[in-house]
Structure 1
Amino acid sequence: MPYQQIPEYPKNYSSSNIISRLIDGLGYRYYWATESLTDTDLKYKPSAEGFDTYKTIEHIYWLSIMITNTAQNLPSIRLTPDDLSTMNFDILRKKTLQNLKKGSELYAEKTKDDMDDYMIIIQSEGYKGEFPFWHMINGPISDALYHTGQIVSFRRTTGNPIDSKVNVFTGKPKS
């Protein structure tokens, strides 16, 4: 699966490469946040009203769909419980990582004009919303980073912290 380590960084600092690298950082963090989760980890929820880890992973999957669909100028159609019912944790994790990798690759090396043309399109029954690409940064990407951090915190609480060799600064596990 992708993101056991972050890929080499781009040769230049274009807006599209920055978005791509941000997604790569998310992918690396998500990979390690979700690596070797136990059933206890997946069922953990910080309060009776909160989402458990598994529901948080489902939400990050939805965010990964938005990231990838926007890079293809496709609408993101709201998921229903039926859409998720055939997926277990391993499938959700794999598909999320694949979406993030694909999104990163699709954004990389795009021109300013390409970036200007991206719109986030969200659809559900009876609703269609279109939002400028700026919302990708403060919306799906930031939200996925936030929730990935929650998973890290949740698994610490259950006594299963992430591998101590993970280095989010370099994007490579320590030897």
Structure 2
Amino acid sequence: MQKLLFFLILIFISNLQAQDMRLPYHQIPESPPEYTTGNVIGRLIDGLGYRYYWATEGLTTSDLEYKPSGNGRTILETLQHIYGMSEMILESPKGEPSIRPKDFTKYSFEELRRKTLENLEAASKLVKGKNADAVSNFKVTFQRGEKQTDFPYWNMINGMLSDCIYHTGQLVIMRRSNGNPQNPKVNVFIGKTRED
């Protein structure tokens, strides 16, 4: 009886730890209560996070090495590119410059995935609740050495945010082409994945 009790306690603790380690965007968060500028941008980031979570869930080594053509990016290189943009998505509302160039090849797939999702979650939280005046003060700043170049936040929307969504769609297509399609129970409209 004691062994059974110990075993059940161990399973319970493991389940709690697994829940704590769950990455952001397993499902899309509840929608904000009102349509403010920051809430709309935050929701756009959340939609990206949900899509990225499921586009990258269950990728294999073969998937990471997959390249659709000789001069195209592999899935892993695409993940590195998306991660770099997720840093920029987070840096802008924090008022930090995006220092370039950077090398993202040092990160494993698991690190890239976790860091990207965490960046998106943090960025979404920073922009939510902000009004139009606050968002209009966000800048996209690139820094190379001592030189800084500023752009309005509009460029983030049509630039990095849109580009990340575009590349996340590429991940879905590439993994399908490599024989490992995304979970068919993903519902980007509802923002939840069927468990049945």
TM-score calculated relative to the size of structure 2: 0.86
Structure 1 residues 118-133: aligned runs within 5 Å: 118-125=138-145, 127-133=147-153
Which residue type is aligned with residue 33 of structure 2? K
Contact 2:80 2:105 in 1 (8 A): no
> In terms of Rg, which structure is larger?
2
In 2, the alpha carbon distance for the partners of 1:128 and 1:7 equals 35
Structure 2 residue corresponding to 1:6, chosen from 28, 34, 59: 28
CA deviations on 1:31-58 (whole Å, 9 max, x unpaired) are 0000010011101111111111101000
State yes or no: 1:52 paired with 2:88.
no
Aligned to 1:153: 173
> Kindly tell me: are residues 140 and 115 of structure 1, through their superposed partners in 2, closer, same or farther at Cα, counting changes over 3 Å?
same
Amino acid of the residue matched to residue 60 of structure 1? I
2:82 pairs with 1:88: no
Give a deviation string over 1:73-128, Cα, whole Å, max 9, x none.
Answer: 110112433xx243100001000000000000000001222111101001123542
Gaps of 5+ in 1: none
Does 1:17 pair with 2:23?
no
CA distance in 2, matches of 1:126, 1:71: 21
Cα displacement (A) at 1:149:
0.3
What residue in structure 2 maps to residue 104 of structure 1?
A: 124
2: CA distance, partners of 1:128 / 1:155? 37
- Of stretches 128-137 and 141-150 in structure 1, the one that deviates more from structure 2 is 128-137
Which residue pairs with 2:53 in the alignment?
31
2:3 paired residue number: none
CA distance in 2, matches of 1:54, 1:79: 18
Number of positions where the alignment pairs a residue of Structure 1 with one of Structure 2: 173
Distance 2:52 2:94 in 1: 22
Q: TM-score, normalised by structure 1?
A: 0.96
- Counterpart for residue 16 of structure 2: none
Report the identity percentage: 49
Q: Between 27-36 and 84-93, report the one with greater CA deviation.
A: 84-93
Which 4+ runs in 1 deviate beyond 3 A? none
Verify the 8 A CA contact 1:62 1:79 in the aligned structure 2.
no
Match of 1:154, SS state, is: helix
Q: Which of 155, 174, 179 is the matching residue for 1:135?
A: 155
1:134–1:162 Cα change, 3 Å: same
Q: Write the distance in 1 (CA, Å) between the matches of 2:101 and 2:26.
A: 27
Measure the CA separation in 2 of the matches of 1:108 and 1:154. Answer: 32
